Amino acid sequence: MDGRAPNQPKLLSNLSYVYGKIMSHSSYKFWVILLGLPVHVVVFFYYLYKQKQDMYLSILRETRAKLLESGYKEQLASEFKDEYIRKQTFFGKKINQKEMDRQIKKWTDIKFAKTLQEQVDEQLDVQKVQKLTFTSCFQALLSTPLFFVLTLIPGLPMYLLIFLYSNSYLKYIFERLIMSLFVIVGVAIFVFTILYISPFNPAANILGETATKEQIASFNQIYGLDQPYLVQLWEAVKGILTFDLGNSFTGNEDVAASIANKFPITFTLTMISLVMAIVIAIPIGIISATKPNSFLDYSFMFLALIGLSIPNFWQGLIFILNFSIKLQWLPATYSPGNSLSMIMPVVVLGTALTASVARMTRSSMLEVINEDYILTAKSKGLGYNQVLWKHAIGNAIIPVITVIGLLFGGMLGGAAVTEKVFNISGIGSYIVDKQFIPDIPSIMGGVVYVAITISLVNLIIDISYAFFDPRIRSKMRQY
């Protein structure tokens, strides 16, 4: 039963069909039952009622009665008894009456149940009767508009989950979001545990060497540092999930407000660097791959190697020395109201990413343009540009996107060096400043919300795979 009869409304028919798929082989089964528990309870009682009237049970009872009346069970018991006695006699073993009765009963019940099921299945095949199950009962009810209307409100979360499961793209996004949630919680637990077992004493570091034991104890009590590990961990995770991070140990400032003020600066810096890297690196990689071993290829790859080799802090200092102090073209430090002050930090942060993406684009393009399907496209008479843009770049861009996603996380988390060099009050320098105390609420908030951003960016990258590669779209539909 697939729940998609032609006379049923299309929406309900699809819901019924998808419900059957979930209940048969899916990890979503538990959540569908849990979210629709009131509806499932009602359907369960209806199922018990229908079970009494089910033709399958009627055939089962009739067949069982006929087998018992024919003396089939006694015949089986007699055959197994003779077989048991012969076997014990052959091996010279003493016959234990209780053990013999137990074995005979066990074998008889197994053989009788097997024969009964075989005869019932034969009759069901002849009469085209389907065994009633809870799932098939629920599917039949779900296909009726009245049942759907009556259960819409109590079963709304369940229906939303079924609809989500029916759409491969929404399901893919939902599963990635759930995975990201587990990653974020895991990061929170890991970071908190590291801070908890660290040798640093926040109270002693903040209050200073002259602090008394009573002052330290009072500080720990105020911020809950005297609580057990699990209690502190729960409060930290709960604060992250509810966006209530409390106050920092230093300055008694609201952590969520501080992060909200500092995070956009780092995110803007990183995104501009990312766009710069993509705009510059991908064309360079394509040109190098289409003209391998040429002067342009060697030049571009040499520059990319230099970009990968230069440390951020050294590059930033050289930029300040030349463009700020000597030439006085650009401001040495970042100023929120001055767009020119963003140029040097963006270039410094994006240099390594640009070099990495350019090299990956080149190697990926070189691998793709030598594939058989590219040669086939050329042999069919397609123009060079058409082959390049329609067939080569779309397949070569997948590993490039992967590299961009991975390096973006490194940029976002590693922007602290660049921020320190250019005196940018971003989330990276904020975390660095707080980690030596350690200011647990501030560090937890900064690290976890960076992890949230990285998870969301990786989700976007995963979705973009399907845009560039039809094979991935096909797998998503099958999945």
Beta-strand runs (E) in 83-158: none
CA-CA-CA-CA dihedral for 448, 454, 456, 459, to nearest 10? -140
CATH number of the CATH domain containing 276:
1.10.3720.10
b/e map 250-279, b = 16+ CB within 10 Å: eeeebbbebbeebbebbbebbebbbebbbe
**Does residue 463 lie in a domain region?**
no
Q: Do both 120 and 269 map to the same domain?
A: no
**Does residue 176 lie in a domain region?**
no
Of the candidates 396, 359, 393, 357, the residue with the CA atom closest to the CA atom of residue 277:
357
**Does residue 225 lie in a domain region?**
no
* Per-residue model confidence (pLDDT) at position 312: 78
Give the chain's domain count: 2
Whether residue 8 has pLDDT greater than 60: no
**Looking at 150, 167, 184, which one is the last position of a domain?**
167
b/e map 288-314, b = 16+ CB within 10 Å: bbbeeeeeebeebbeebeebeeeebee
Whether residue 80 has pLDDT greater than 80: yes
Whether residue 271 has pLDDT greater than 80: yes
pTM of this prediction? 0.62
Q: Do both 282 and 424 map to the same domain?
A: yes
Q: Do both 271 and 126 map to the same domain?
A: no
Contact 440, 250 (CB under 8 A): no
The whole-chain average pLDDT of the chain stands at 79
**Does residue 242 lie in a domain region?**
no
Q: Do both 141 and 261 map to the same domain?
A: no
Contact 301, 359 (CB under 8 A): yes
**Model confidence at 6, in pLDDT bands (50, 70, 90)?**
very low
**Does residue 454 lie in a domain region?**
no
Give the mean model confidence (pLDDT) for residues 109-118.
86
**Model confidence at 55, in pLDDT bands (50, 70, 90)?**
low
pLDDT tens, 204-253?
A: 777 777 777 788 788 778 777 778 888 888 888 888 777 777 777 776 77
Whether residue 127 has pLDDT greater than 70: no
Contact 415, 269 (CB under 8 A): yes
**Looking at 167, 195, 212, which one is the last position of a domain?**
167
**Model confidence at 282, in pLDDT bands (50, 70, 90)?**
confident
* Per-residue model confidence (pLDDT) at position 90: 77
pLDDT tens, 360-406?
A: 888 888 877 777 777 676 676 666 666 766 667 777 777 888 788 77
Whether residue 472 has pLDDT greater than 70: no
**Does residue 271 lie in a domain region?**
yes
What range defines the domain where residue 92 resides?
10-167
**Does residue 220 lie in a domain region?**
no
Q: At what angle do helices 168-197 and 470-478 cross, to 10 degrees?
A: 90
Q: Do both 394 and 281 map to the same domain?
A: yes
Separation CA 50–CA 216 (nearest Å): 70
**Does residue 350 lie in a domain region?**
yes
Give the mean model confidence (pLDDT) for residues 6-12.
64
Whether residue 466 has pLDDT greater than 70: no
Separation CA 67–CA 111 (nearest Å): 12
Give the mean model confidence (pLDDT) for residues 306-324.
83
